[in-house]
Amino acid sequence: MSAQTAVATRGLSKRYGHVTAVDGLDLDVRRGEIYGFLGRNGAGKTTTIRMLLGLIRPSAGDVEVLGRRIVPGETAAFRGVGYLVETATAYPNLTVRENLEIQRRLTGSQTGAVAEAIALLRLDEYADRRAGQLSLGNKQRLALARALLHSPELLVLDEPGNALDPAGIVEIRDLLRRLSAEQGVTVFMSSHILSEVAHLADRIGIVHEGRLIEECPRDELAAKARAFSTQALTEQERADALLTMDLERYFLMRTGGER
């Protein structure tokens, strides 16, 4: 694995009985890039992410994260990693600030880290509310704040847009872009929604039935998609797509989100 690589997998596979959830995956995520791992429900995204994080044991293949081989149960490799996997969990009876303070102590981060994370995720208004009383979107923000608290080099995010409204998605997108551009943080994020990664990822990998069926820079994928859609889309489909885009913009404008 080269020093420029943040995540590498070779022949990574996971089988559950007769189901092959991940099938011989070779991934190379470069340091500093935003990598969009795109696939439909059941494509194998969460299973892959769990293996990247050493949460489950692969049936075959290898994973390296930030230059270290991942062995389930060993935590040393994850000091530089922040992650958000599926449903966000927090101590429901503790406040946002208290939840973050626990995370700060667990990760040995500096005292100012809690206030910084609260500001970064725009949680100021909710800092003294119990986590259990937050909306789903704000729970997701809290989970991201926890993932970011120790200033990780690599962020692994499973469907970070889940539970966020369109303005929240735009906000998180801007935050990830800033982290990548200003602090060189590598982002590996999964999504089943193309538009979520289309605006953000430098490179996109498409996973289908556990296999990587396409991987290229975002702009290249966009060019392919454009060529395809000129042939394949009907007038009606094109009009529907434009309408959705216009409505989303208008909705964001009326509700204070920026584009």
Task: Give 231's contacts (C-beta < 8 A, 6+ positions apart).
Answer: none
**C-alpha–C-alpha distance, residues 212 and 123, integer Å:** 37
Interface of this chain with ligand ATP, residues 20 to 59, rule: CB under 6 A:
21, 39, 41-47
Q: Residue 147 Cβ, how far from ligand ATP at the closest point, in Å?
A: 18
Q: Which of 4, 11, 16, 133 binds ligand ATP (CB under 6 A)?
A: 16
Conformational region of residue 169, where left means phi above 0, alpha means psi within -120 to 50, and beta covers everything else: alpha
- On whether the CB atoms of residues 207 and 39 are closer than 8 A, the answer is yes
Residues that bind ligand ATP (rule: CB under 6 A) add up to a total of 12
Nearer to ligand ATP, 33 or 158 (CB): 158
Q: Which x/- pattern over 164-203 shows residues binding ligand ATP (rule: CB under 6 A)?
A: ----------------------------x-----------
Closest CA to 6 of 38, 36, 28, 21: 28
Residue 174 tokens, joined = 């801007």
Residues 189, 34 contacting (CB under 8 angstroms): yes
C-beta of 47 vs 180, nearer to ligand ATP: 47
Q: Find the shortest distance in angstroms from Cβ 52 to ligand ATP.
A: 12
- Residue 237 CA to residue 227 CA, distance in Å, equals 15
Q: Which is nearer to ligand ATP, 96 or 206 (CB)?
A: 206
Smallest separation, CB 220 to ligand ATP (Å): 23
Binding stretches for ligand ATP (CB under 6 A): 16, 19, 21, 39, 41-47, 192
